[in-house]
Amino acid sequence: MVHSVEGRKYLEGSRAPVTEEVTAHNLSVTGQIPEELEGRWLRNGPNPYGSVDPKTYHWFLGDGMIHGVRLRDGKAEWYRNRWVRGTDLAKRLGEEPPEGKCFRGSGFSPNTSVIGHNGLTLALVEAGVSPMSLTYDLETIGYTNFEGTLPGAFTAHTKFDPIAEELHGVCYAYPDIPDRVQHVIVGMDNRVTKVTDVPLEGMPMIHDMSLTEKYALIYDLPVCVDIEMAMAGKRFPFAWSDEHEPRVGLLPRDGEAKDIIWCEAPKCYVFHPVNAFDLETSEGNSKVVVDLCRFDRMFHSDLHGPYESIPKLARWTIDPSTRTVSEEIVSEQSQDFPTHDPRVVARKHRYAYTSWLDSGSTCRTDMETGEIIHHDHGEGRFGGEPLFVPREESSDEEDGWVIVCVNDVNQGPAELVILDGNDITGKPVARIHLPQRVPDGFHGSWIPDCSTL
Ligand SMILES: [Fe+2]
């Protein structure tokens, strides 16, 4: 293993943390915000408070900070950014600790994603930490365990099935629970309705999951806890493992661990699938199709962050009868942070929205025709995770808006850009001018006011 790259590159430039919490009202806008957009755009990411040691810093370990913009009546009513007050950070800030208890006493500030679920606003992270509940205005309330129904920790990446009205996640909490992960379903009453213990060896990092109408997909891929690194203390403990055989598990949604169909997967690492669906073939077989962004390797030479190889958009076709996965690379372009129309979770999707990591363009790939279109945000401007918001009265997957935070790599203030889904390459519908930089971060959500999401 090569320990060559310091964590400094994850603390500088467009990734440099901001030092202030800002509240701004009535933001200036170029263009016109669609009046149908009423709610909040929120995004989480690491933003370490105070100084950190770049020799040991890992991008995934910075204190979480939420950036948010609230839209209503065609206006951007506010922007605010707030640290997520985990117990450790609250202490460093000299503040009262958050309410509730985090799983196994972790004091971490969830830094990876933020979702809405049935009136809750939740900051999330994987690896042994409970969800953190926030107010509408992004102030920290406290850790939650879904009214005592969550038996372990939670995950950063959930999948909400809008038909079944179930929130799914695959959760792990090494080393406290070293020998298994848990597939968890949360209902619309904010209580866990099903937990499936899935025995696994080697403590693999399972960052995300996929869902079809039949199955929950479990990605058992070769990034695992490195015991030597874990013993060294506060370092990020995961590393590439050549010995760990990659596989993906198909867990029937109403089944148990014994029912999982494990299929041999390509040797790679996947942080983020786009979406998955069941496919009935003309021969009468049932397969699973999943689109995803896959890296050849991960945490092998760079132990401070994820960018040592290029994530490519790929389609996996999983055959449960032969327990095999066939892989088609859809594009050689470096891209990640995939999203899709939220109405088609677990069902056939047409479009994958991604961020191109070299140019910062916002891309839409038509998975049926292969057409790739992208919006170039301009020189020195980088678009993060794109979020598709469907127009309410339409069922077309292109009919809506794409909301994306665009950073100025030269340290200028960020913009929240709204693209017309029917005209991705065209001039933005609106550019909302934020009062400060938004450091490169991870994942967010559009949370409509009128919705239970
Ligand atoms: Fe992620």
Per-residue pLDDT tens for 368-397? 999 999 999 999 999 999 999 999 888 899
User: pLDDT tier at 401 (50, 70, 90 boundaries)?
Assistant: very high
Tell me how far the alpha carbon of residue 355 lies from the centroid of ligand 1, in angstroms. Answer: 13
Tell me the mean pLDDT in the region 25-43: 98
pLDDT score, position 89:
98
Q: How far is the CA of 113 from the centre of ligand 1 (A)?
A: 7
Contact by Cβ (8 Å): 204, 246: no
Centroid of ligand 1 to alpha carbon of 67 (angstroms): 16
CA 35–ligand 1 middle distance (angstroms): 30
Query: Which is more confident, 450 or 443?
Result: 443
More confident residue, 233 or 192: 192
Residue at token pair 């109405």: 343
pLDDT above 50: residue 426? yes
Report pLDDT for 148: 97
- Ligand 1 mean position, distance from CA 155 (Å): 10
C-alpha torsion angle, residues 22, 439, 130, 139 (rounded to 10): 10
284 CA distance to ligand 1 middle (Å): 35
- In this prediction, residue 450 carries a pLDDT of 83
Which position has the higher pLDDT, 367 or 285?
A: 367
- What's the pLDDT score for residue 5? 53
Q: Model's pTM, two decimal places?
A: 0.96
CA of 282 to the centre of ligand 1 (A): 35
Q: Three-state SS string across the chain, please?
A: CCCCCCHHHHCCHHHCCCCCCCEEECCCEEECCCCCCCEEEEEEEECCCCCCCCCCCCHHHCCEEEEEEEEECCEEEEEEEEECCCHHHHHHCCCCCCECCCHHHCCCCCCCEEEEECCEEEEECCCCCCCEEECCCCCEEEECCCCCCCCCCCCCCCEEECCCCEEEEEEEECCCEEEEEEEEEECCCCCEEEEEEEECCCCECCCCCEECCCEEEEEECCEEECHHHHHCCCCCCEEECCCCCCEEEEEECCCCHHHCEEEECCCCEEEEEEEEEEEECCCCCEEEEEEEEEECCCCCCCCCCCCCCCCEEEEEEEECCCCEEEEEEEECCCEEEEECCHHHCCCCCCEEEEEECCCCCEEEEECCCCCEEEECCCCCEEECCCEEEECCCCCCCCCEEEEEEEEECCCCCCEEEEEECCCCCCCCCEEEECCCCCCCCCCEEEEECCCCC
Distance 142 CA to ligand 1 centre (A): 22
Amino acid identity, position 14: S
pLDDT of residue 451: 65
% the chain with pLDDT above 90: 86
Q: Ligand 1 centroid to 58 CA: how many Å?
A: 15
How far is residue 262's CA from residue 297's CA, in Å, rounded to a whole number? Answer: 21
**139 C-beta neighbours (distance < 10 Å), count:** 12
CA of 375 to the centre of ligand 1 (A): 22
User: According to the model, what pLDDT value does residue 7 have?
Assistant: 75
Tell me which of 74-88, 223-237, 337-351, 374-388 is least confident.
Answer: 223-237
Query: What band does 429 get if pLDDT is binned at 50, 70 and 90?
Result: very high
For residue 419, the CA-to-ligand 1 centroid distance in Å is: 23
Of the listed ranges 78-92, 230-244, 350-364, 380-394, the least confidently predicted one is: 230-244
CA of 426 to the centre of ligand 1 (A): 28
pLDDT value at 4 more than 70:
no
Looking at the predicted structure, is the pLDDT value of residue 231 above 90?
no
CA-to-CA separations, 58 to 10, 155, 241, 251, in angstroms, rounded: 8, 19, 18, 32
Q: How far is the CA of 112 from the centre of ligand 1 (A)?
A: 6
* Residue corresponding to tokens 């020189």: 379
pLDDT tens across 125-139, in order? 999 999 999 999 999
Residue 218, pLDDT > 70, answer yes
- Distance (Å) from CA 412 to ligand 1 centroid: 25
Q: What angle do CA 321, 328, 168 make, to 5 degrees?
A: 65
Ligand 1 mean position, distance from CA 60 (Å): 10
281 pLDDT more than 50: yes
- For the cut 80, the answer to whether the pLDDT of residue 264 exceeds it is yes
- pLDDT cut 70: percent of the chain above it: 98
Phi–psi pair at 180, nearest 5 degrees: -165, 165
pLDDT band at 411 (very low <50, low <70, confident <90, very high): confident
Q: 125 or 10: which carries more pLDDT confidence? A: 125
From the CA of 205, how far away is ligand 1's center (Å)?
A: 12
What is the Å distance from ligand 1's center to 74 Cα?
30
- What is the reported pLDDT for 1? 38
Q: Is the pLDDT reported for residue 2 higher than 50?
A: no
pLDDT band at residue 234 using 50, 70 and 90 as cut-offs = low
Distance 42 CA to ligand 1 centre (A): 15
Ligand 1 geometric centre to CA of 156 (Å):
7
297-311 pLDDT per residue, tens: 998 887 777 878 899
For the chain, the first-to-last Cα distance in angstroms comes to 43
338, pLDDT greater than 80: yes
- Please compute the mean of the pLDDT values over residues 145-157 and round it to a whole number: 97
The one-letter amino acid code at 84 reads V
CA of 271 to the centre of ligand 1 (A): 6
Q: What's the gap in Å between 227 CA and the centre of ligand 1?
A: 23
Ligand 1 centroid vs 27 CA: distance in angstroms? 29
Mean pLDDT, the chain, integer = 95
How close is the Cα of 272 to the center of ligand 1, in Å?
A: 6
How many angstroms separate the alpha carbon of residue 229 from the centre of ligand 1?
A: 22
More confident residue, 392 or 182: 182
